[in-house]
Amino acid sequence: MSGHSKWATTKHKKAIIDAKRGKAFTRLAKEITVAARIGGGDPEGNPRLRTAMLKAREENMPMDNIKKAIQRGTGEIPGAHYEECQFEGHGPKGVAVMLKVQTDNKNRTVPELRTIFSKNGGNLGENGCVSWMFDQKGMISLEWPGATEDKAMELALETGADEFRLHENGIDLITSPADFSTVLESVKSRMLVPTFAEITMIPQTSVHLDGKDAQMMVRLMEALEEHDDVENVWSNFDIPDALLEQLLSGNP
């Protein structure tokens, strides 16, 4: 769990530079389009769409872009047909890796992903090889140095979270996917600003990495996240905080 949380919050805190803003908007638009195609264009009756729109607004995606993405999903305007796929594999030392992919050409995407894995100490596996190690949950991370167990429990009870987890920099609130939006709104109503808030896949166990294995794992994660068709990457690695910060800064 610790590796998953640290990766998510560390990446989220890195500055979003303008050169990457377009890519972020493209991924958000894909998710909105797929959510609207699967569950309809009304966010009140489509929790996945509601969550995608909330994230898009947090990233300052223009409302016109959001509207067009919904219309492409519902078929009101033409657009590429994205297929949602799940891929699974392993990184260095057998670390579990799960991917959510949205592609308009699966025959192109699969060999590209296989190459990324093989170049970074891993291998693309069969579906089911690692998914059993993960649980789908909502996770809301808050910076709260020095937080006590009593304070964390109080916040979890007040916001309706299912559980909480303390770490050295703060608290992770864990929810069911269905309750995620409600708990997030409750957190924000208390003037708390999450460093990370998503419906995600939380690993049941972790694999400790250091040295060259940690370097390869970070390269693998970054290469997968850079791929245009990859929407989300989840893994169960655990890299010490200081080393992870060092690797992400580009100074191995």
Q: What is the pLDDT of residues 131-164, one digit of tens each?
A: 999 999 999 989 887 788 998 999 999 999 999 9
29: pLDDT strictly greater than 50: yes
What pLDDT was estimated at residue 251?
60
The candidate with the shortest Cα–Cα distance to 128, out of 164, 172, 89, 76, is 89
More confident residue, 232 or 114: 114
* pLDDT value at 17 more than 60: no
Q: Is 249 helix (H, G, I), strand (E, B) or coil?
A: coil
Considering the chain, what is the average pLDDT of its residues?
86
Whether 252 shows a pLDDT value over 70: the answer reads: no
Mean pLDDT of 176-190: 92
Compute the average pLDDT of residues 10-32. 64
**Beta carbons of 195 and 141 less than 8 angstroms apart:** yes
Confidence of residue 86 (pLDDT cuts 50, 70, 90): very high
Q: What stretches of 133-248 adopt beta strand conformation (E)?
A: 134-143, 163-167, 170-175, 196-203, 207-208, 230-235, 237-238
The pLDDT-based confidence of 47 (bands split at 50, 70, 90) is confident
Query: How many percent of the chain have pLDDT more than 90?
Result: 47
Cβ–Cβ contacts within 10 Å for residue 139, how many? 24
